[in-house]
């Protein structure tokens, strides 16, 4: 009888440890999936800039980028020149402005959010594409986009780094 009780206690202990680890694994998996999606959208903006895709009104934008909106929303936007006759995009400010064509994207996983502080606008300017972070260009600039599990931002977070040279890393 004692052997059965000890065996059951060991099994219960193993199940409890497995359940705790399963929750951590699920959080990490969800967080990784969200980070991959955000990085994919950043790469989409980069590719759109390299291909100079036309807008719905037939005009070609000056560049494409990502803009932070709130803790679980961001925009994929097309930057336009501030002067309508500026075909070389010299007057483009290289940041998101209201009125520019944008696609609103929500983080699909309900328990994932952007970690504070929010990230600066990231814009890819054709033809290379050149990377602007917060309206500035430097190959050594880096924008860090941090995602975390809500209520556990100190222990479960993942960073996406976008470098001024165009490199995108998930850390």
Count of residues in the chain: 171
Domain count, the chain: 1
pTM equals: 0.81
State residue 53's pLDDT score: 63
Banded pLDDT at 74 (limits 50, 70, 90) = very high
121: containing domain: 2-170
pLDDT of residue 38: 96
CA–CA distance, 137 with 145 (Å, rounded to integer): 18
160 exposed, middle or buried (CB, 10 Å; 0-12, 13-18, 19+)? buried
Q: Quickly tell me which residue has 């991959």 as its tokens.
A: 36
Residue range 135-161, pLDDT digits in tens = 899 989 999 999 998 888 887 889 999
CA–CA distance, 82 with 32 (Å, rounded to integer): 37
């Amino acid at each position: 009888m004692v052997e059965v009780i000890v065996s059951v206690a060991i099994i219960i202990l193993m199940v409890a440890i497995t359940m705790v680890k399963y929750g951590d694994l699920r959080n990490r998996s969800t967080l990784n999936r969200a980070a991959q999606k955000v990085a994919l959208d950043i790469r989409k903006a980069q590719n759109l800039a390299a291909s100079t895709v036309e807008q719905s009104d037939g005009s070609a934008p000056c560049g494409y980028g990502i803009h932070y909106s709130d803790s679980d929303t961001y925009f994929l936007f097309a930057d336009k020149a501030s002067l309508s006759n500026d075909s070389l995009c010299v007057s483009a400010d290289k940041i998101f402005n209201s009125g520019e064509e944008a696609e609103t994207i929500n983080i699909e996983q309900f328990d994932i959010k952007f970690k504070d502080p929010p990230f600066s606008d990231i814009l890819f300017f054709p033809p290379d594409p050149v990377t602007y972070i917060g309206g500035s260009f430097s190959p050594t600039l880096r924008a860090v986009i941090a995602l975390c599990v809500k209520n556990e931002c100190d222990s479960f977070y993942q960073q996406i780094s976008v470098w001024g040279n165009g490199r995108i890393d998930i850390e």
